Amino acid sequence: MTSASSSFAFDDKRPISMSFRHSQSGGPSSPHTPQHHLRSNNSSFASSSSASTSFRGEEDAIIFEFGSRWLRAGFEGESSPMCVVGCGPEESRRVGDYRGWLRNSHGTEPPSVKAEEWTGAYELWKMNVRDMELGLIEDKIERMFRETYNKYLLTDAGTSRLVLVLPSIMPHPLLSSLLSTLFSRWRFPSITLLTTAPMAVIAAGMRSALVVDIGWSETVVTGVYEYREISLKRSTRAMKLLLQDTGRLLTRLSNNSAASQPGDEIAVNFDLCEEVASRFLWCQPTVSPKGSLGPSQQQVAEPQESDVDTANQGLASVSDEIVSLPSPSAPGTAYIDIPYSKLTEPVEGVLFAKGVPDCELDDEEKPLPLLVYNTLLSLPPDVRGTCMSRIIFIGGGSNIPGIRQRILNEVAFLVQQHGWSPVRGKVIEQQRQRLQTLRLSQAPPPADLTPEVSPDSPKSPTETSTSETQDEEEIDPIEQKIRRNNKDKDTVPPVQGVFREVESLGSWAGASLLTSLKTRGLVEIEREKYLQHGLAGASRDLETHGHAPDRRSGLRTGGDRSSWTLAGWG
């Protein structure tokens, strides 16, 4: 009740309430005084802490987006980050160790290492903190920040507000050491935390969407509704495994004769492998029905090259192409020719779990289409209808050509096969048959149990799946009334119920957009308060902020400034 927002019924729909510097005379608004100085949220002008924030000059906030491997940094209001900094072994060398520049040292055969170590050297952190040295991560973060400021941002560190875009689930030790490092090393006045998925939604111009983040260590599918994370599912099938698989593929290619190579060892240069992956890995965008059964039905265990011929005729010629890559054993001097179709195998095997029967998959290693489907399934029907026509792909894996179409196609196929029902199995099928025959006498049901989702029909599958008895063209009187009421404002009915991809500019751009609109985040950590108690000082009492305890969008709707919260991270 502390904020004005709680007194209004509709304010929940407006988590973004903001003032902004420039007077915007959008079409139908009345003339009003330009708002220049109201930078902070008006709800808190009575509290003391916001006074200090408004005295700060017009320094632009600096936005950092943390991933497992890359750090993106730049200023608010810019469309893309100023720089993307990694933290590989080259970056964690001693000062004055210029070995990375000695290119001739690459002639030596890279030793074969375990796949986990092979990729592990390039990660900033793992979400499993158990065997991680936090001090090392602090060192890395400190160096990355310092070099980013000195080389790319070219501004004094610590003078302006800092906005961090973080994954929505962070281990507290990691979060604590991150914040402690930043606060104790530099004099940042405050640090705002924002979550990745809603930022991507903002950068797509949407309010609700399904964000598929094919990241490094895991793929996270988040259902975002009205800027709030509603449900979230994750899978380990992501870029790390993909890169390891590509490494194995290249290792096999480099020593065809030496079959004695142990299965898990990778003996190629990581950088080369990443180059190959970023340049040449691809994925069949459309699969014929037989092929698309892959993740759900059992196939031959080993991926066969002949599977590729199931591709449609458009890309049939592509599969026969031969591309030449630098030879993994002697990069820079020799090239090897491999069929282009071979380069789709890691993607098929890792991200789509081709050839692995469904029953063998653990909960955390669902293939991506199934993950998307499950996330959609866990959403409430209305939200599902909205989200499924706003699917946003972010993360490194989304750059693989063909993968977006492929996921959309397979999810559509899953919907076609099973409908929006989590219940599977033969017995269920029989029961359904029986029910169907029962119902046949009453009314003609839809042809199949699975609601047919065709892209041109405007009906939402949510209606058809939940209320089977209703007609497709059922008219919702309430919705009509709403539509009649605000006829003048938006006459466009929202697109829903259709699978549609919306492109986002990425989480970083979303955070930049949001910050430049002077919206305050829900999690804004003031320096003094953090230094007093650390993370323990965060108030766990979410009710004081006038919210239901669900996953938060990270946007502040107002409220008490004297205490701070970690919101979803708490």
Partner 1 sequence: MSRPFPYTYISCPCANTPVPDPSKKRRSRESPQKSNPDQPKPLVPIDDEDEAFDPRSPRANFSLYPPEQLLYCEDCHQIKCPRCITEEIVCWYCPNCLFETPSSMVRSEGNRCARNCFNCPSCTAPLSVSTLENVVVGGTSQQGPWVLSCGYCMWSTLDIGIKFDKPTNIRTQLSKLTEATPVRSRQMSRTFGELKSPLSTYSSIDEHFPPPGETNTKPEDSPEQPTIPLNSDARFNALKNFYKTQISATSSSPTDPLGMDFGAGFSSPGALNRIMSLYTSSSRLSSLYGGANKKPKTRPPVMREALTASEGLKIPAPDAEEALIQRIAGPDCGWDGLASLEQRSFQSPDARFVEDLLPLPVLLRTKRSKRCKSCKHILVKPELKPQSTRFRIRLIALSYIPLPTLRPLNPGPHAAAVLPTPAGSTAPTTSTSTTLTNLDALSPLRPIQLLLTLKNHMFDPVRVTLATPSVTPGRVASKVTILCPQFDIGANSDVWDEALQGAAAATPAPGTATATATATTTPSTDPRGSRSGGLGVYEKVAEAGKVWDKGRNWTTVVLEVVPGTLPGGVRPSKTKKYPVHDNEPDTTTTNTNKNNNNNKKKAHNASDSDNDDDEDDNDSDSSADLPALDWTGQADDPGQKLQPDEDVLEIPVFVHMEWDSENQIDNEQAVGRSSGDTVKRELAYWMVLGVGRIVQ
| Residue nearer to partner 1 on the CB measure, 156 or 550 | 156
Q: Give the residue with the Cβ less far from partner 1, 25 or 297.
A: 25
Residue 521 has phi, psi (to 5 degrees) of -80, 160
User: Tokens for 342?
Assistant: 């071979």
Residues in the chain: 570
Q: CB nearer to partner 1: give 320 or 364.
A: 320
Give the angle subtended at the CA of 489 by the CAs of 486 and 491, to the nearest 5°: 80
Interface stretch with partner 1, choices 229-237, 295-303, 432-440, 488-496 (CB under 8 A): 488-496
Exposure string (b/e) for 350-386, b if CB count within 10 Å is 16 or more?
A: bbbbbbbeeeebeeebbbbbbbbbbbbbbbebebbbb
Quick one: which segment of 162-170, 228-236, 361-369, 508-516 binds partner 1 (CB under 8 A)?
508-516
Cα separation, 550 vs 227, whole angstroms: 12
Within 182-221, the residues that bind partner 1 by CB under 8 A are 184-186, 203-208
- Which of positions 302-361 make contact with partner 1 (CB under 8 A)? 314-315, 317-318, 321, 323-326, 335, 340
* Binding of residue 177 to partner 1 (CB under 8 A): yes
DSSP assignment of 204-225, as one string? TT-SSEEEEEE-SS-EEEEEEE
What's the min distance (Å) between Cβ of 369 and partner 1?
A: 16
Min dist CB 284 to partner 1, Å, is 9
- Secondary structure letter of residue 99 according to DSSP: G
Which residue has 């072994």 as its token pair? 89
Size of the site for partner 1 (CB under 8 A): 142
Q: 330 vs 449, which CB is nearer to partner 1?
A: 330
Closer CB to partner 1, 339 or 355, in the complex: 339
- Which structure tokens are listed for 54? 């408004």
Minimum Å distance from CB 295 to partner 1? Answer: 20
Based on CB atoms, which residue is closest to partner 1, 156 or 543? 156
Residue 378 interacts with partner 1 (CB under 8 A): yes or no: no
With CB under 8 A as the contact rule, the residue among 55, 57, 98, 104 that binds partner 1 is 98
Applying CB under 8 A, among 62, 63, 66, 140 the residue interacting with partner 1 is: 140
Nearer to partner 1, 133 or 360 (CB): 133
Among 236, 255, 405, 466, binds partner 1 (CB under 8 A): 405
- Cβ 381 to partner 1 shortest distance, Å: 20
Shorter beta-carbon distance to partner 1: residue 91 or 468: 91
* 184, 530 Cβ separation under 8 angstroms: no
| Residue the block writes with tokens 């990745």 | 196
Identify residues 38-97 at the interface with partner 1 (CB under 8 A).
38, 41-43, 46, 60, 75, 77-80, 82-84, 92-97
Piece of 34-42, 228-236, 350-358, 373-381 that binds partner 1 (CB under 8 A):
34-42
Sign of CA dihedral 29, 32, 34, 35: negative
Contact by Cβ (8 Å): 191, 534: no
Strand partners, 163: 63, 192
Only segment of 28-36, 61-69, 192-200, 377-385 that touches partner 1 (CB under 8 A): 28-36
DSSP 300-358: -SSPPGGGGGGB-GGGHHHHT-EEEEE-SSSTTT-EEEEEGGGGGHHIIIIIS-TTS-G
Cβ-defined contacts of 452-455 (< 8 Å, 24+):
452/416, 453/412, 453/415, 453/416, 453/497, 453/498, 453/499, 455/498, 455/499, 455/500
Closest C-alpha among 224, 220, 195, 194 to residue 209 = 224
Which 425-454 residues touch partner 1, going by CB under 8 A? none
Tell the burial category of 484 from Cβ atoms under 10 Å away from its Cβ (0-12, 13-18, 19+): exposed
Binding range to partner 1, per CB under 8 A, among 240-248, 352-360, 422-430, 491-499: 491-499
Position 494 contacts partner 1 (CB under 8 A): yes
Site string for partner 1, 253-292 (x = CB under 8 A): ------------x--------xx--xxx-x--x-------
